Amino acid sequence: MAEALPKDTIRCDACPVLCYIKLGHTGACDRYGNFGGQLVRLDPHVLLDRAKSQGTPLVPFLEREGEWDGKLAKPAETFVTAIGAGTTYPDYKPAPFIVSSEVDGVNMVTVVTEGIFSYCGVKLKIDTDRHLGPERNLVRAQGEPVGHVTTAEYGSQMLSIGGVHHLTGRTKTEGRVTCETLLDLCNGKEVALSIEEGARITVAAGQPPVVNGQREERMRVGCGSATIGMFAKQWCGKVDEVVVVDDHITGVLSEHQAGKMLGVRETGIAIHGRRSTPGRYFQVAQPGTGWGGTNISDPLAVLKPFKPKLAWPHLRLLMVSTTGEHFAYYELDESLQPIEKELPPDLQTSVERIRENCEPALTTVLFMAGAGGSLRAGATENPVKLTDSVKRSLTRVTCGGAPAYVWPGGGITFMVDVSRMPENAFGYVPTPALVAPIEFTLKKEDYAELGGHMDSVRPLSDILSEKQRHRQLTSLPANPWPLKPSLEKDSER
């Protein structure tokens, strides 16, 4: 029997929540509403126009109803994204849009759907030399655990945010806050996070991170040893010793192979920490937010007394961090104690050169998720064939038209840089889970071979002529055009 609903109420089947929506109201996700007794997708469906030249900006077009001038875009230059397309839930249905178009004489098909992802999260790459927190320590948002610190990379600190256990495996509040944090990060909004036994940070995709209230300007040019190698020639004859302070590998010019090759004299310098190889020292200090990602504010704290048999009065010593943010110049007095002096102009140039070689500090947000069997069923009745087609590079995976990296191994686990996607491409459902666009593009003949829903294929011209809310954007010039036919594997077939 059909379920009896209250007057002027409809039931939304776009996600497992199955909201009852009164006339003129929206569901819990704010993505679907009851207007005129019909279930309506509120966000406009996003189409991409091909960028004509480098530097073409992302320009909104047809943002309001009634703006369409009646002219059809050229099919070969229009890509139907999944943003605003709707979902396959409940999963027996074909994808909301399965679009055919002819590109360079090749018949192409794009399967378009918004996936509902519980198995998802983001990887944050935060360009900073400062220590954010010990590996594996919890990352919190609004006081709730939403992720953890993972391994540091060269010049960047890495955080893992989200995942199914934070979304659904613990308390409702943790799941709600995790979902909200992921949604804001993916849509380019600023998010405040705190790390246990570590820093407070504010991050947003494509923006410099703020660490303990201080906005980062640059990421390090390299470790202390690499910095010695890069700039040793520029120091020769201008200074007797250089120490590049770094949390990971502190470099010492006179002991380093670069210094030896250039004939730098031994200075009798002695460094705290564990000597690795000549001129390279580990653990000179504890991690922190001071010099070179250590906890020190006085660089002399990494030095032991100079060896009197090798050192000499008036020895010139430059100490500098891996970003050039911190620097100090000393000369030894008669008792071989370092006395701070004003930095000579010729050394000022080398410090500025270090800064010049540091790239701007940014936050990168990579959305990562697994496309499950239910989502794949929207493309074919035999979902494993879609997986196989992706692995064989016959099917291209994109997210809102942006290129996605598909991980090796089983399933379709993909990753995408959210800054390469249109703004506000992500939504949510209160299960909680994130809603993200995903498109599968392949040749029409390949789609038929993998058992695709051929009865649901519609020509692009039909979609362009529909009187529904479209938002037409220009694709980012840096992104490859997703409709370009893929011919790399033809020779293998």
Q: Which residues contact 482 (CB under 8 A, 6 or more apart)?
A: 48, 79, 110, 396, 398, 401, 403, 439, 441
* 490 pLDDT higher than 60: no
How many Å separate Cα 297 from the centre of its chain? Answer: 32
44: preceding bond cis by omega (within 30 degrees): no
**Strand pairing category for 470-474 and 45-49:** parallel
Mean pLDDT of the chain: 89
Q: Which pLDDT band, with edges at 50, 70 and 90, does 64 fall under? A: very low
pLDDT of residue 28: 75
In this predicted structure, which of 28-42, 215-229, 238-252 has the lowest mean pLDDT? Answer: 28-42
In this predicted structure, which of 18-27, 334-343, 415-424 has the lowest mean pLDDT? Answer: 18-27
pLDDT of residue 365: 98
Q: Is 327 helix (H, G, I), strand (E, B) or coil?
A: strand
Q: Is 24 helix (H, G, I), strand (E, B) or coil?
A: coil
Q: Which amino acid is at 113?
A: T
CA-based torsion, 157, 161, 164, 170: positive or negative: positive
pLDDT of residue 489: 45
Q: Around Cβ 449, how many Cβ atoms within 10 Å?
A: 15
* 252 pLDDT higher than 90: yes
CA-based torsion, 85, 89, 91, 92: positive or negative: negative
Q: What is the mean pLDDT of residues 402-428?
A: 95
- Separation between Cα atoms, residue 325 and residue 231, nearest integer Å: 16
pLDDT of residue 205: 97
